[in-house]
Amino acid sequence: MPAIYTTEWYDALKKLLNENPEVDRNAPRGTINVLAKIVGDARSPYLPAGALRNFVVVLSDGKCVEYRQVEVPPPRKDFDFIFELPASVFEGVAAGLIDLIDAGLKGSVKITGDMRILIRHAELVNVVYGVYAREIETTWPKGKPVAIPQANASAAH
């Protein structure tokens, strides 16, 4: 069981995404480039307030071809979608305590990109959430989240 925010954890997520037939079935054809910006906050034991983790995720024809952390993200124009959210919300999603769609609808996740594509592929978002929340076995070296952060906490910028 890999620890959250480690290379092994990212690799395990990539493997699970690629093994899940629902990801392949629900993903749009072509390539989608995603940047996830996880912003540290006071509620996270893993990312202190002000810390930032950037993840590049590339889906191509239903397969995850890249899932990695980068210190400095490529230019915003290189991405189809950018998701920005507090670390405590991301960790709550990974622990299965927070529903990703609900968090997005309540403003906890800031989404930049063509929302029509995201809405059209909403089932893919549900499948990806399921991989984070139920399929990956995450080790929590500083403790697993036990309380649900404010669902309406806005993403820090």
Q: What is this structure's pTM?
A: 0.85
Residue at token pair 């979608």: 81
What is the average pLDDT value for the chain, to the nearest integer? Answer: 88
pLDDT digits (tens, 9 = 90+) for 146-156: 766 554 444 44
* Residue 143 CB coordination number (10 Å): 8
Residue among 31, 79, 74, 57 at smallest CA distance from 128: 57
Q: What share of the chain has pLDDT > 90, as a percent?
A: 61
Residue 129 has pLDDT above 50, yes or no: yes
* Residue 44 vs residue 100, higher pLDDT: 44
Q: Which of 105, 110, 90 has the alpha carbon at shortest distance from 9?
A: 90
DSSP characters for 35-64? EEEEE--TT-SSS-TT-EEEEEEEEETTEE
**Which residue matches tokens 């699970």?**
16
What is the predicted pLDDT for the residue at 154?
Answer: 45
DSSP code, position 96: T
Q: Where are the domains positioned within the chain? A: 7-135
In CATH, what class is 7-135?
alpha beta
pLDDT of the residue at 157:
44
Dist CA 128 CA 28 (whole Å): 13
**Sorting pLDDT into bands at 50, 70 and 90, what band is 120?**
confident
Mean pLDDT over 108-123 rounds to: 85
